[in-house]
Structure 1
Amino acid sequence: MDDTIIKTEYSDIMQKSYIDYAMSVIVSRALPDIRDGLKPVQRRTLYDMHELGIKYNGPFRKSARIVGDTMGKYHPHGDSSIYDALVVMSQDFKKGLALVDGHGNFGSIEGDGAAAMRYTEARLQKITQEAYLEDIDKDVVDFIPNFDETEKEPEVLPVKIPNILVNGAEGIAVGMATSIPPHNLGEIIDAFIATIKDPDITTQELMEIVKGPDFPTGGIVVNKDELINIYQSGCGKIKLRGKVEVEKKKGGKECLVITEIPYTMIGLSIGKFLNDVYSLVENRYTNDITDISNQSSKEGIRIVIELKKGADAKAVENLLYKKTRLEDTFGVNMLSVCDGRPEVFGIKEILNKVSEFRFATATRKYNNLLTKEKEKNEVQEGLIKACDVIDLIIEILRGSKNIKMARECLVNGVTKGIKFKSEASRKMAELLQFTPAQANAILEMRLYKLIGLEMEALVKEHEETLKKIALYESLLGNHYLMAKEIIKELTKIKKEFERPRRTEITNAKEAVVFKEEIKEEEIVFLMDKFGYSKVIDLNTYERNKEAADTENKYVIHGKNTGKICIFTKEGNLHSVKLLDYSIGRFRDKGIPIDNKSTFDSSKENIVAIYSSDDIYNRELLFATKKSMVKKVSGNEFFVSRKNVAATKLNEDDCLLAVNLIDAEETIVLQTEKGSYLRFSLDQIPEQKKAACGVRGMKLTGEDSVEEIYLLKENEVREIKAGNKTINLSRMHIGKRDSKGTKK
């Protein structure tokens, strides 16, 4: 076989392949169909359960059995996606209407995952059978081949209610996402009935019926006035709040009890909420909270926040709304697949599209039923007619050589080859004109049907068949009667399955938090050689100045609103808010600095500590072991993060010193091998904290910088080096990046 080389542009191939992939994800996996409101994996799972006969009034079946059967027949994308869909459809805290009845551990509202599929069991809910799958055997929807064309699966389920609004939907496709909130079943059915009666109904009129979303977790929607625009356009943001109650405790104390949470807090966000409340206390946003506990159970959500005596409960509640996810936003994007294309619809368009689908399935259903009843009528008429000439039919059967000869006589009056008792019987037989279906029914009829009571029952059954035919023909020929029948079914569903609204819809003012003004005062930060740190006020320090200076390695003056900046040998900066410390007594033991900051004394070594007030609008001089030096503006270290890189270090280098620059004019570098270099600070450029710096002194061999000294103008400075006394102020002022002088 000859190879054929097709030359094409690579970008064209990539574009086509990506578009094909994107459309596959959009239509076949991530987005729901507007007609039944289900994603393919959900639809296939429910249909497979129907096929397996796992009914609501029957026994539960292992989830692994359902998942395996669904994957083998309809959804070859892995068992986890199928089981996840099964789990979500059973969770009444995620779905407005649970479609699967789960038995076993199917997860919790607090984020606990479901047990493995081999341990759990499931079956269909009653409403799923009656409103989602009931008419699927009546040829009301199209069936398409499965992935390997060995089975047939429904293109869409014949759902009788607007499931896309009742249960909502969430999904991320390629370049688009859907987020439809769940709604109250009773309200949606009422709005659906109103749409069937008047397809031109306005969104405003619909919103008088559908108050807004109805989340299974309850909560409060606080932007009622904005809902009309959201439901008209299909896009917008719904503001949600949890429900908070104030309970009195003994001793005049109060506590806030959260009984309902925003829908967006389902799962691990409850744990995050608890941590956020702890942070509010730690960061001193409030001193009114004394304890918080999660007392939630199967009976419902109960998060208790205890307040100190005399606390303003309303102010704390507003703080929770403002600073935590107790008030959150649900982004609405009513995107769904319609006629094979993803499109955003408002509530009116959705209900109209579902109405069209509902009329289409009802029309197919009654056409199918009409056809069956007409076939039944044909057979019944033949049997009634046959009973009137039963003696002749028996004579034909006894005189025929085979069944084909008897059938020909019954249908076409052919009597050739049949033995009759008389010529009169033959002539009567020649007049017979049964249809093929009637002839088959006569030939298959049992003798007991000739009993008088059986004959009466046959006549009554025929009368019922004629009534059904008349009913179906009237429904199919009259849109008003069809609508009336659909409304009758919807009313029945509503009566049996509706439940009270759980989410409150209202307008509420934005939560306002008045942060308590912090009184600025002078304080002193003390840290001993063991790393224990504390903060005392200035008066306490003045009274114990000598002991404080003697017993502590670092004594830093500053303001309580500032920070402590810790520079480490490894080139990092760790910041600690002084407000994180309580002003204590001088003889308090203190708290390890590791507990108050991101500094880890087991991995890092402190080079210098400054108050943020000291380095503000000042320059800092950085020097490393490998003789790299630079100036950095202190303002660069005013960052919100607790840990940042203070400088960039070359390989095998470390930070030696960080000094504040005042009126110094010269710097002296001293090496381990006794070399000295003095040069002007003007020769050192100012750089960013992310820079390595410039070389201060040329080092020979394995030598490295050991000490640096800053000398002011006319300052006399002497140091001891071994047995020698060296006068630094008398050293020659040289150039940066030159060799030092041995002393």
Structure 2
Amino acid sequence: MQKSFIDYAMSVIVARALPDIRDGLKPVQRRVLYDMHELGIRYDRPYRKSARIVGDTMGKYHPHGDSSIYEALVVMSQDFKKGLPLVDGHGNFGNIEGDGAAAMRYTEARLEQVTQEAFLSDLDKDVVDFVPNFDETEKEPGVLPVKFPNLLVNGSEGIAVGMATSIPPHNLAEVIDATKAYMKNEAITTKELMRYIQGPDFPTGGIVTNKDDLLSIYETGTGKIKVRGKVDVEKGKGGKVNVVISEIPYPMIGANISKFLMDVAALAENKKTQDISDISNQSSKEGIRIVIELRKDADVENFINMLYKKTRLEDTFGVNMLAIADGRPETLGIKGIIKASVDFQYETATRKYENLLARENSKREIQEGLIKACNVIDLIIEILRGSKDRAMAKACLVEGKVDGIKFKSRESRIMAQQLQFSDNQANAILEMRLYKLIGLELEALIREHEETLANIYRYEDILARRDSMAQVIMNELDDIRKKFGRKRRTVIDNCGEAVFEEKKLEEMDVVFLMDRFGYAKTIDLTAYDRNREAADAENKFVFQCKNTGRICLFTNNGQLYTVKVQDLPFGKFRDKGIPIDNVSNFNSSQEELLLVTSQSELNLYRVIFTTRMGMIKVVDGGEFDVAKRTVAATKLQEGDEVVSVIMMKEQKNVILQSKDGYFLRFGVDEIPEKKKAAIGVRGMRLNEGDSIEAVYFTHNAEDTSIHYKSRDLVLNQIKAGKRDGKGTKIRA
């Protein structure tokens, strides 16, 4: 099992989730691009159905689900995710707001020009190794001969087993400038490279706010980049102010835009701000435009800082520059990535020019043979006419054998014996067409030969001198920069942390209402006074509190949950409210509420706890004045639960009722005060299998009756006893 898991993990790491440091591509991306190249879906040819590309890739190179292949194709075409899109998509390929692409049977695609010229153009020159595909029926490139550090330009994100990669995109022109600087001085430092690469260049723009941290991130390959959206302030109608978000942080792409809008709306609903009068998403194909309309007297700067602090308008991009280098995962800084790319450029350039040199030498050999043949064309024609077959003519041209060939003169025979063409030259002569003997054609052949000699000299120089090869690579980089470079979109700056001063809530008295279904809200005192009778009848818990205070909820599990009053909706009496579960850690499906009160009132009194096993205690209410949302209100024995929690005000007697019908009445002054972490003392001695069923409290002079077993029972008439007694058996 251990071996199988390790094999699986390595397969995911090396062959699926992580990009290769040389071309910056994951295997699925590489296979899609190579398949499109093989199908001839070039940038200057018509689009082809995405389903054709996906099916061909899956059948030949990537034996996994079609959805993963199509998703890779879609992402490579999205200009809001990739700094340099590699696929030209035609149709619905999704949008920045998170809508997915149309099904692959509807969309079409072709390669981008940069992909064709900088990723795939040299594949026919044996610059990279080809490896067998999954069933060894096809060959595929182990890496694409990319001519610039694509890993930095397009970035990458992937989750493997036990590791993940997260590389931000960068500006193509800046990366090429840094690559050239490294080629000129391999001892260059990361700090010096950052004169060229200012920082990430996200396709969504935005502002990087921690410029000073970038050096450390780029040296180590890990760290956190803080990104803010771009916010403009415009004049609105009627003297109002519009806060317009025109660029978003890169991590906000997709569903997080709608979440941002919901978060802004929640700020208004939860009374975190009263400055918002309207929110609208006016984004279109032209770009992002989210408009938040503010009231006339709004503090705009404070509001924008609140957006940075309370929403994802300021977000963090975690950097972990992990890639496959020399067959194993490695975390590198930008210098390490550029070095790996440059080393790869030298390797592919060496193989390319060795291949081109071999081709030119082959052409030179044939050209020299044809020129030489044209000089003795009459003799060659005589040999061809006098030979019985091709083999005889070729033997004469290569070895000077004249046996069996009829010549017009003895001089011709002697000259034929002196011919020494190479095997390739002889084949070229035998296949030469007669029009090649025209004078202009001969001149063109000589010019072509001179050009071939010049190429051979140039290729030999490139291969012999590293400076010459470096210049060739840099010239190619300059061409790519000129054709495909663009201006930086992301601003790099040092911005101080957003300082947001939360407006203090104006303190006022409100009435808390919670019905038997657990829906809670607050209303003002006048609304409660007008509807007092209905409010008391329809709600389980009703009490007055401050809107700046907290609500305490005690449960049968011995837990205390606290809720800020301002987290509850404040509105009209007939408003429904929200489930108390939504604003607290209380779970109505697993526990029961026994007491709900305000923190301020709780601090004034003591609290009596009674459990099912008969344990009882008094706790000072001040002990529950805690900042945590959840604390243990009391300690319970295993299998025990709380049956009663009540604030001790004017109660004089407590009556414990057991399941078997025993009633014990004693004075509340017999209950000792304990800490909230204590179990308490035994309030009633119970028979085996018996338990406390109900708890009642009375005053001395007050007759309180309950309905028990089809008759009314006056609690004050029950024989008084002592705590820890067995009580009196009450029969029907």
Supply the distance in 2 between the matched residues of 1:667 and 1:590 (Cα, whole angstroms): 37
Deviation digits for residues 184-208 of structure 1 (CA, Å, limit 9, x no counterpart):
1111111112222222222222211
SS at 1:144's partner residue? strand
Supply the distance in 2 between the matched residues of 1:576 and 1:569 (Cα, whole angstroms): 18
- Alpha-carbon distance, 1:285 to partner: 2.1
- Alpha-carbon distance, 1:214 to partner: 0.6
**Matched residue type, 2:135:** D
- TM-score if structure 1 supplies the norm length? 0.87
Partner residue of 2:573 out of 576, 586, 589 = 589
Counterparts in 2 of 1:659 and 1:51: CA distance versus 1, 3 Å: same
SS at 2:144's partner residue? coil
Q: Which residue does 2:13 correspond to in 1? A: 26
Does the 8 Å contact 1:697/1:736 carry over to 2?
Answer: yes
Q: Which residue does 1:730 correspond to in 2? A: 719
Q: Which residue does 2:210 correspond to in 1? A: 223
Counterparts in 2 of 1:641 and 1:386: CA distance versus 1, 3 Å: same
Q: Which residue does 1:190 correspond to in 2? A: 177
Q: Which residue does 2:381 correspond to in 1? A: 394
Equivalent residue runs for 1:689-728 within 5 Å: 707-711=694-698, 717-719=703-705, 721=707, 722=711, 725-728=714-717
Counterparts in 2 of 1:690 and 1:514: CA distance versus 1, 3 Å: farther
Supply the distance in 2 between the matched residues of 1:173 and 1:645 (Cα, whole angstroms): 44
1:298 and 2:285 aligned: yes
Counterparts in 2 of 1:273 and 1:442: CA distance versus 1, 3 Å: same
Partner residue of 1:42 out of 29, 32, 57 = 29
Q: Which residue does 1:142 correspond to in 2? A: 129
Supply the distance in 1 between the matched residues of 2:107 and 2:594 (Cα, whole angstroms): 59
Q: Which residue does 1:6 correspond to in 2? A: none
Partner residue of 2:523 out of 528, 531, 535 = 535
SS at 1:362's partner residue? helix
Equivalent residue runs for 1:1-16 within 5 Å: 14=2, 16=3
Counterparts in 2 of 1:602 and 1:370: CA distance versus 1, 3 Å: closer
Counterparts in 2 of 1:738 and 1:130: CA distance versus 1, 3 Å: farther
Counterparts in 2 of 1:378 and 1:558: CA distance versus 1, 3 Å: same
Q: Mean Cα displacement is larger for which, 282-291 or 118-127?
A: 282-291
Does the 8 Å contact 2:228/2:314 carry over to 1?
Answer: yes
- Alpha-carbon distance, 1:667 to partner: 3.2
Counterparts in 2 of 1:131 and 1:116: CA distance versus 1, 3 Å: same
Does the 8 Å contact 1:720/1:726 carry over to 2?
Answer: yes
Supply the distance in 2 between the matched residues of 1:56 and 1:691 (Cα, whole angstroms): 78
- Alpha-carbon distance, 1:342 to partner: 1.6
**Matched residue type, 2:339:** N
- Alpha-carbon distance, 1:93 to partner: 0.1
Supply the distance in 2 between the matched residues of 1:37 and 1:342 (Cα, whole angstroms): 13
**Matched residue type, 1:589:** F
Partner residue of 2:352 out of 365, 375, 388 = 365
Q: Give unmatched runs, 5+ long, in structure 2.
A: none
SS at 1:90's partner residue? coil
Q: Which residue does 2:141 correspond to in 1? A: 154
**Matched residue type, 2:705:** I
Partner residue of 2:152 out of 162, 165, 178 = 165
Q: Mean Cα displacement is larger for which, 555-564 or 194-203?
A: 555-564
Does the 8 Å contact 2:602/2:647 carry over to 1?
Answer: yes
1:318 and 2:305 aligned: yes
1:77 and 2:64 aligned: yes
- Alpha-carbon distance, 1:518 to partner: 3.0
Supply the distance in 1 between the matched residues of 2:248 and 2:591 (Cα, whole angstroms): 43
- Alpha-carbon distance, 1:325 to partner: 1.0
Q: Mean Cα displacement is larger for which, 100-109 or 525-534?
A: 525-534
Partner residue of 2:420 out of 429, 433, 437 = 433
1:253 and 2:237 aligned: no
Q: Mean Cα displacement is larger for which, 108-117 or 539-548?
A: 539-548
Supply the distance in 1 between the matched residues of 2:32 and 2:165 (Cα, whole angstroms): 21
Does the 8 Å contact 2:659/2:692 carry over to 1?
Answer: yes
Deviation digits for residues 668-706 of structure 1 (CA, Å, limit 9, x no counterpart):
2346886423467778997989999999675899x9976
Supply the distance in 1 between the matched residues of 2:105 and 2:62 (Cα, whole angstroms): 19
Q: Which residue does 2:466 correspond to in 1? A: 479
- Alpha-carbon distance, 1:715 to partner: 6.4
Counterparts in 2 of 1:662 and 1:340: CA distance versus 1, 3 Å: same
SS at 1:237's partner residue? strand
RMSD of the TM alignment (CA)?
3.8
Supply the distance in 1 between the matched residues of 2:450 and 2:567 (Cα, whole angstroms): 89
Q: Which residue does 2:450 correspond to in 1? A: 463
- Alpha-carbon distance, 1:158 to partner: 0.7
Supply the distance in 2 between the matched residues of 1:173 and 1:474 (Cα, whole angstroms): 44
SS at 1:517's partner residue? coil
Percent identity reads 58
Partner residue of 1:492 out of 479, 501, 506 = 479
Counterparts in 2 of 1:351 and 1:643: CA distance versus 1, 3 Å: same
1:234 and 2:190 aligned: no
Supply the distance in 2 between the matched residues of 1:313 and 1:541 (Cα, whole angstroms): 36
Does the 8 Å contact 1:532/1:590 carry over to 2?
Answer: no
Q: Mean Cα displacement is larger for which, 347-356 or 99-108?
A: 347-356
Supply the distance in 2 between the matched residues of 1:707 and 1:205 (Cα, whole angstroms): 78
Does the 8 Å contact 1:576/1:642 carry over to 2?
Answer: no
Supply the distance in 1 between the matched residues of 2:205 and 2:562 (Cα, whole angstroms): 42
Counterparts in 2 of 1:386 and 1:285: CA distance versus 1, 3 Å: same
Does the 8 Å contact 1:619/1:631 carry over to 2?
Answer: no
Supply the distance in 2 between the matched residues of 1:452 and 1:639 (Cα, whole angstroms): 101
Supply the distance in 1 between the matched residues of 2:597 and 2:617 (Cα, whole angstroms): 16
Q: Which residue does 2:396 correspond to in 1? A: 409
Supply the distance in 2 between the matched residues of 1:692 and 1:379 (Cα, whole angstroms): 107
Does the 8 Å contact 1:169/1:180 carry over to 2?
Answer: yes
- Alpha-carbon distance, 1:294 to partner: 1.3
- TM-score if structure 2 supplies the norm length? 0.88
Does the 8 Å contact 1:525/1:536 carry over to 2?
Answer: no
**Matched residue type, 1:178:** T
Q: Mean Cα displacement is larger for which, 457-466 or 390-399?
A: 390-399
Supply the distance in 2 between the matched residues of 1:212 and 1:731 (Cα, whole angstroms): 82
Does the 8 Å contact 2:632/2:677 carry over to 1?
Answer: no
Deviation digits for residues 343-384 of structure 1 (CA, Å, limit 9, x no counterpart):
222222221221111122112111111110110110111111
SS at 1:414's partner residue? coil
Q: Mean Cα displacement is larger for which, 125-134 or 637-646?
A: 637-646
Supply the distance in 2 between the matched residues of 1:35 and 1:450 (Cα, whole angstroms): 50
- Alpha-carbon distance, 1:618 to partner: 6.2
Counterparts in 2 of 1:643 and 1:418: CA distance versus 1, 3 Å: farther
Q: Which residue does 1:742 correspond to in 2? A: 731
**Matched residue type, 1:105:** N
- Alpha-carbon distance, 1:560 to partner: 2.1
SS at 2:76's partner residue? helix
- Alpha-carbon distance, 1:593 to partner: 4.0
Q: Which residue does 2:503 correspond to in 1? A: 516
